Amino acid sequence: MQRLQKVIAHAGVASRRKAEDYIVQGRVKVNGEVVKELGVQVTSKDKIEVDQVPIYQEEPVYFMFYKPREVISAVSDDKNRPVVTDYFTEIKERIYPVGRLDYNTSGLLLLTNDGDVSQKLTHPKHEVDKVYVAKVSGVATNKKLMPVTKQMTIEGKKVAPAKFAILSTDTQTQKSIVQLTIHEGRNHQVKNMLKACGLPVEKLKRERYGHLTLENLKPGDYRELHKREINRLLEDSKN
């Protein structure tokens, strides 16, 4: 037995929050009857419809993907640019990215058809650590980067303190490699934080998401995650 909104989210129809709205709006039927209360329990034998369209109860699946640069973190793009799901043509489930990486950012991205897990992992209060490595313009110093360890205000919003490490600097080319660990996921957060320190990002890669690393994946590769790996991410995101 599972909660109705969770099953709708699993089917890839909507996030769990949206599924709750659909239920309250009277757009959901279970075995032909409109159900408007939240929390009704259903099984895989129940016939569920959203706006008269039956939903197919997919098994939840989870993948980690090494997103290449110049790929959109979405399932479609109105400008016809490559999207992350182009790499999953052999996967029949309707998966979508958990959060996003910028078009020009490479690295570890999760994809799933489990709206509930996706929502939990992207909730601002419960996000896991994410480690980014940036090539920046300028010579990084502890002094320049110190602001990221305090609460910065970026575009009028307070962002949580981050950790940094300077991996290398080159005074000749005036470039540095900096590692930044954050747990939120605001748009362009790493680029904005480093820019505010006077170190504009030239290249960005996400190397770690919670306990998951890219292992030996190459750009464009993916691997399926075990349920225990997802459970660990959910556990870690509660802290």
List of residues contacting ligand URA (CB under 6 A): 101-102, 105, 188-191, 204
Smallest distance, Å, CB 62 to ligand URA?
20
Instruction: Choose between 3 and 191: whose C-beta lies nearer to ligand URA.
Output: 191
Instruction: Answer whether 202's CB lies under 8 Å from 175's CB.
Output: yes
Which entry of 102, 129, 221, 236 is annotated as an active-site residue?
A: 102
Instruction: Choose between 94 and 203: whose C-beta lies nearer to ligand URA.
Output: 203
For the chain, the first-to-last Cα distance in angstroms comes to: 28
Any catalytic annotation for residue 116? Answer: no
Smallest distance, Å, CB 20 to ligand URA?
28
Instruction: Choose between 6 and 96: whose C-beta lies nearer to ligand URA.
Output: 96
User: What phi, psi does 136 have (nearest 5°)?
Assistant: -120, 160
Smallest distance, Å, CB 44 to ligand URA?
37
Contacts of 68 (CB under 8 A, 6+ apart): 106, 219, 220
Residues identified as active-site: 102
